[in-house]
């Protein structure tokens, strides 16, 4: 279970593990991760069935040659502090299956991450797992959680956070935990994925929330349906105007005297931090500086 490369604007498509008929589409729709879910989308009476289906599919996918470009497969476990979660961990450990992403929900301490990492660790491989941050206590303990050596990245869980905090699931209600999580992840040099947007009928709401995630510094965003993927990617892409300004800034910086330190581009004063940001933007953009 290596470290997954997470591009800016990454999309994670969540699919119930009880719906194997959707698995192929989930892998073929272009999401950066197709995440099979054993937790919230699976009722208690179907936990064992979902676990067996998911592990069988993951094992089969690992032995088959991929036909074209398909999304890496991930797995969201049940919380380690629950009986279904413990059964999930034992089953994954005994199966030898190692999905590209292993997402641990209800993380509230580094021990929640370490428990999974220690159980799945072998002499040849130290797993990297993702933590789902979805309670006020997790936000309070974020610094300790982010220090776990087994951590690959973090995901924000808006619905559970709002329920636990008693706040509305709105931009204003969730601004603090989202900002704290994205900033903390950046300080730890780890990717952060924002919560999915759950209203499939509200395209404008999806676009707005994805743009907020980009503004806050998230690496990407979850999705609950393939039709949401394009809007998420678009929200994380710089506009033509932003690219033009970034390219003008880079050209101005490249032409100035190294001793000056500050230059001007499009009527604005530009210092080293803005130049670095502009270079990053043009490096990631299709066509670079052209």
CA 17, 18, 23: angle at the middle one, nearest 5?
A: 55
Residue listed under structure tokens 């009722």: 43
Neighbours of 81 (CB within 10 A): 12
Closest to 77 in 3D by CA, of 155, 139, 136: 155
> What burial letters (b/e) apply to 108-146, b meaning 16+ CB within 10 Å?
bebebbbbbbeebeeeeeebbbbbbbbbeebbebbeebb
Residue 227 annotated as binding site: no
* HSE (side-chain half, CA atoms, 13 Å) at 202: 9
To the question of whether residue 134 is assigned a binding role by annotation, the answer is yes
Q: Provide the token pair at 206.
A: 């999806």
Q: Return d(Cα 42, Cα 191) in angstroms, integer.
A: 27
User: Is 160 annotated in some ligand binding site?
Assistant: yes
Contact 182, 163 (CB under 8 A): no
Q: Check: CB of residue 76 under 8 Å from CB of residue 14.
A: yes
DSSP category for residue 10: E
Question: 230 CB contacts (<8 Å, ≥6 apart)?
Answer: none
CA torsion sign for 263, 266, 269, 272 is negative
State how far the Cα of 207 lies from the Cα of 280, in Å rounded to an integer.
Answer: 23
Residue with tokens 């039709």: 227
Binding-site residue positions: 76, 134, 160
Binding-site residue positions for substrate: 76, 134
Binding-site residue positions for Mg(2+): 134, 160
């Amino acid at each position: 279970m290596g470290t997954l490369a997470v591009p800016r604007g990454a999309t994670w498509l969540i699919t119930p593990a009880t719906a194997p008929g959707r698995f192929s589409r989930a892998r073929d729709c272009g999401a950066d991760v197709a995440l099979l879910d054993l937790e919230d989308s699976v009722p208690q009476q179907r936990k064992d069935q979902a676990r067996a289906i998911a592990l069988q599919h993951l094992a089969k996918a690992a032995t088959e040659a991929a036909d074209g470009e398909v999304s890496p497969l991930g797995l969201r476990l049940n919380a380690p502090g629950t009986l279904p979660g413990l059964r999930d961990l034992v089953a994954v450990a005994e199966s030898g299956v190692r999905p590209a992403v292993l997402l641990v929900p209800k993380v509230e301490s580094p021990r929640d991450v370490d428990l999974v990492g220690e159980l799945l660790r072998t002499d040849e491989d130290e797993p990297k797992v993702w933590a789902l941050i979805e309670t006020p206590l997790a936000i309070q303990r974020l610094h300790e959680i982010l220090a776990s050596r087994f951590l690959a990245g973090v995901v924000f869980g808006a619905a559970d956070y709002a329920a636990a905090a008693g706040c509305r699931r709105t931009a204003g209600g969730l601004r603090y935990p989202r900002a704290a999580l994205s900033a903390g992840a950046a300080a730890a040099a780890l990717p952060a994925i924002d919560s999915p947007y759950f209203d499939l009928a509200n395209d404008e709401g999806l676009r707005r929330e994805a743009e907020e995630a980009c503004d806050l510094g998230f690496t990407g965003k979850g999705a609950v349906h393939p039709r949401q993927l394009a809007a998420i990617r678009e929200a994380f892409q710089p506009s033509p105007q932003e690219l033009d300004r970034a390219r003008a800034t880079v050209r101005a910086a490249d032409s100035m005297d190294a001793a000056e330190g500050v230059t001007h581009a499009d009527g604005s004063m530009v210092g080293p931090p803005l130049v670095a940001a502009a270079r990053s933007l043009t490096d990631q953009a299709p066509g670079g500086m052209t």
